[in-house]
Each structure stands twice: as C-alpha cells, then as structure tokens.
Amino acid sequence: MAIRGGFEYPRGMRGLLPLGLLGLLACDTAASPVNLTASASLAELQPAVFRVQWKGAGEGASVVAEWGYDEDYGQRVALGEGDEGEGIVLGAHPSATVHWRVVTGEGAATDDQTIETGELPVTIRSFEVTESGDALSGLVLTSTLDNQRADAVMVDLTGTPVWWLASDGPKQGFSDVRAAADGKGVIYQVTDPKLETDIGTIIERDWAGEVRAETPTPGGHHAFVELPDDHYGYCMIDVRETTVDGELRMVVGDAIAEIPVGGDPATDLHVIWDSWDALPMRAAVAGDSGFYSFGLDWIHCNGLSYDADTGKYLMSSYSLGSVFQVDRATGATDWVLGGEDATLTLPEGLRVGTIHSPERTADGVRVFNNRNVDSPHSRVVTWKVDEAASTAAEGEAIDLDGEYFSQILGDATDLPDDHLLISWGSSGLLTEVDAERNVVWEASLPLGVIVGFSGVLPSIPGAVE
C-alpha cells in the first residue's frame, strides 16, 4: 500500500437491541440504568471538538456518542469500552448547538444534552462550495497559505472548518498536513517557507489539539512521509559551495533524510539519498528561481511519497522537472522520469514539465503537472513506467477542459470508487472528480489564498453505523 493519506476506521457496534426486547430482558424496568451518566466539555485547543466522559455503562460495555444539530442526531461515534471512560467527538461546526447523548451496545442511553461549540477564529478561512454532488471526500485535511500566514484546516463537504490549527505568522508555515496512520490525530511539518531560519519540526497532535510528539527535521521543507517503522522521511536541503559559471557560489541541493519519531538529529538523522552524490550539478545563474536568498536553486524537492510494499521513495524536483525513484534500503536511484538526468525514454515530443506530488500507481507514477510546453494549464497526469525497457509513456491526463492553472503546489488523492480529490494549489480550489472524471464537488478559497497539499478522511474518526 502507498503511504500518503487515508486510513480505515472501525465499523463495529452495528445497531442496538430493539427497545421492546430490552424491556423484556430488563423485566420491564427502564432501558437506561439509573447509574449511566455522561458529561461533555470542549477541548481547550480545539473548540469545535468536545470530550465526552461517561460512567456506569457496565463492565465491557461498548459506548457510542450520538450527536447532531437536533434530537434526531444523525452521527454516531465510538467512544470506547468499559464502565467508565472518555472519548472524543470530532466533526461539529463551530458556533453551533450540538445535541448529544451516550448509548451502549446493551441498549442503555442517557437523556439528550446540548453543548455550544466555540467560534472559528477570524484568521481561519472557510471554503465556498460551488459544486456539490455524489462526493466521497468526507473530511478534507489541508492548509491555506498567503503572504501573511499558513494555517491547517479540516473541512467537511459544506466547506466549513471542523478542525484547525493557526500558524504564528509568515515565518511559520506548513503546506503538508496529513492524518496520522493510526487515526488518532494529525501530523504536519513546521518550516520557514523560505528556509531563512531552520525551524523544521514534524509535530503530531491528537484530535483535541494536544501534542503527541515533536521531531526536529533540520533543513526540512515542502514534503515528508510517515514511514511504517516509526520513522519520518523528509526533503532536506543540502547547501554547498561550488563553482558555477566560473565563480564560487552557494548551491542548494536536496536530500531524502530519515529520523525516528522523537529522534535527536545529532545522533539519529540518516541521509538516504543526496543530489550531490547522485546527480551532476546543474545549477546556473541564468534562469535561477530566486527562491532561496542564500544560494542557487538546483533541485527544489517539492513532493515525496513512499511505498511500503516496494520499499521505494518517489521524489519530485520542481527545478529539474523530474521524478526520482529511490530505493530506501540502498539509496540507489532506480530511475529518473523527465529532465536532463532522465533514464526513462519518453515518446518523441513529450516532456514531463513542471510538477509536484508524485504518487505511485499500479503501472507507474501520477504527478500534478503545473505546466507543460504543450499545456499552458495545469493537469493531473499518470506516466506508465516500464522499468525493464527503461521507457515511460503518458497515460491518463485530467485537465478538466484546461480551465485550471496552479503556478505552485498541487496534488491528487485517491478516493473510493476511483474518485480523485485534486488540490489546485495557487488557484485556491479543491475539486473531486468521479470515475468518469466528472466534477462532483468543488470548493474555493478567497482570491489570493493558496490551498496546500491535501488528504482525506473518508468519515469522521471513530464513526460507526
């Protein structure tokens, strides 16, 4: 399986015993034990999330919170098991009156109660939904960026934030936010967008907003992955002085680095692959992006994914227009798609172009293609790779009639039933397309606000039927 986005949630506790049968089993006593009680309180760091505490459910009882915006509820979330405990309810709108109650698998239930969720900070942006159909996105976890700030946000299909995290301003940004593989919260990397200060840190938070782990990622930027052995892999700049156009200059290369969760960079950081060892240096003064104030932009890693089944990384380079497949165990470059260093031959006249966010597919790699000589708009393209023949050919290309363009960022996330969620980066748009590539859901940010890399939670964490 490819590690990038979603995960599956438990689907136990299907249905409760009929009330009539419960009455017979209880010898016509009340269905809810007198000692079953519950209370709720807002999470301090996430005012649209609330904690539910229960007592008196009975030993080994399965406990569910039913909640919604009236007494019909509509949502059911597993809280846990046991006579007493605490669980989290996530997915409510801010500034809302939420009805809720606790029920058990044995048929006990508390009375209806309400809780008022907190306000959405004025700095956190909502999305305006402009197209709504048979969407499967569930909850979309992404970030919003402009010249002033970069915030993390999770929105439902109405475009309303149900979870958010505010940055500390323009010097602290995160474009890559994802759900943790264990389903218990989110993971994101804090960086200085221009890397003028080295504050790289991967942070894990639970759904209540509490920090679970912090891991320094020196030189970290753009993208990271959660690995299956409690490590992170991330893009790390490697700045060296070298001769360019006859003069000594600082050049910014890139590496794939790994560090265990909570590790110490001084002792635990391991470089898997480095552009300085793997490639001829191609930085040049003419045509430099100017992205870095401290050196020429050579690689500009802007996407990273990892496939646990093959043990391979895919890394994309904005400056070179290339995708590199790297073996995690050996650090060897298996192949290069696109650019001057390409090892895969393309059909005559085709080029990869400017790209982000490589993801493995059954027969190759999918990328977000920001622009191409023959395509002045952005699109999502799958390249079919034949490793044995060292060739690649263009497969599916999704351009939605050429109406979308993103100069920076952009990615695509797999959904059930062959749906796809596309983030259009600097266009500030999220689009879900179905198997026939028809738009079934679309949401936009205010003009000038960028949408970062995005992931999807198919349903509210802990949701049960």
pLDDT one-digit tens code per residue, 418-428: 999 999 999 99
d(CA 103, CA 115): 17
pLDDT at 171: 57
d(CA 54, CA 36): 7
In sequence order, the 6+-apart residues with CB closer than 8 A to the CB of 278 are 324, 333
Answer for the pair 69, 97: CB distance below 8 angstroms, yes or no. yes
d(CA 156, CA 135): 11
The helix (H) or strand (E) run that includes residue 22 is: helix 19-25
How many CA atoms does the CB half-sphere of 180 hold within 13 Å? 19
Mean pLDDT along residues 272-300: 95
pLDDT at 5: 38
CA geometry: angle 411, 413, 416, nearest 5 deg: 160
CA dihedral of residues 128, 131, 134, 138 (deg, nearest 10): -20
Segments making up each domain of the chain, as ranges: 19-116, 121-457
Percent of the chain at pLDDT exceeding 70: 91
Cα dihedral sign, 208-79-188-125: negative
Phi/psi of residue 270, nearest 5 degrees: -135, 125
The helix (H) or strand (E) run that includes residue 21 is: helix 19-25
Of the given ranges (301-310, 311-320, 368-377), which has the lowest mean pLDDT?
368-377
Instruction: Tell me whether domains 19-116 and 121-457 share a fold.
Output: no
Of the given ranges (10-19, 59-68, 190-199, 302-311), which has the lowest mean pLDDT?
10-19
pLDDT at 94: 98
CA diameter of the chain: 93
pLDDT at 172 over 70: no
CATH architecture of structural domain 121-457? 6 Propeller (2.120)
Mean pLDDT along residues 213-218: 97
Nearest alpha carbon to residue 104 among 40, 36, 30, 41: 36
pLDDT at 34: 55
Q: What's the mean per-residue pLDDT of the chain?
A: 89
pLDDT at 461: 83
Of the given ranges (90-94, 259-263, 400-404), which has the lowest mean pLDDT?
400-404
Q: How confident is the model at residue 374 (pLDDT cuts 50, 70, 90)?
A: low
pLDDT at 63 over 90: yes
Helix then strand count (H, E) for the chain reads 3, 35
What amino acid occupies position 79?
L
d(CA 328, CA 336): 15
The helix (H) or strand (E) run that includes residue 297 is: strand 296-297
Nearest alpha carbon to residue 199 among 215, 185, 183, 184: 215
pLDDT at 368: 97
Per the structure block, which two tokens stand in for 407?
A: 């100069």
pLDDT at 307 over 80: yes
Of the given ranges (120-129, 207-216, 431-440, 454-463), which has the lowest mean pLDDT?
454-463
Phi/psi of residue 440, nearest 5 degrees: -115, -10
Per the structure block, which two tokens stand in for 80?
A: 């846990």
Nearest alpha carbon to residue 261 among 357, 176, 181: 181
pLDDT at 146 over 90: no
Does residue 23 sit in helix, strand or coil? helix
pLDDT one-digit tens code per residue, 67-114: 999 999 999 999 999 999 999 999 999 999 999 999 999 899 999 999
In 242-379, which residue ranges form alpha helices assigned H by DSSP?
265-268, 275-278
pLDDT at 16: 32
Answer for the pair 444, 438: CB distance below 8 angstroms, yes or no. no
What amino acid occupies position 94?
P
Nearest alpha carbon to residue 456 among 67, 94, 178, 265: 178
Answer for the pair 118, 47: CB distance below 8 angstroms, yes or no. yes
DSSP track, 144-195: EE-SS-EEEEEE-TTS-EEEEE--SSTTSB-SBEEE-TTSSEEEEEEB-TT-
Nearest alpha carbon to residue 40 among 2, 13, 8, 66: 66
pLDDT at 19: 30
Q: Which CATH superfamily is domain 19-116 in?
A: Immunoglobulins (2.60.40.10)
pLDDT at 332 over 80: yes
Judging by beta carbons within 10 Å of its beta carbon (0-12, 13-18, 19+), is residue 317 exposed, middle or buried?
Answer: buried
Mean pLDDT along residues 288-299: 94
d(CA 57, CA 377): 58
Of the given ranges (16-30, 44-58, 62-76), which has the lowest mean pLDDT?
16-30
Q: How confident is the model at residue 30 (pLDDT cuts 50, 70, 90)?
A: very low
Q: Quickly tell me which residue has 């034990």 as its tokens.
A: 33
pLDDT at 264: 98
Per the structure block, which two tokens stand in for 30?
A: 């009340």
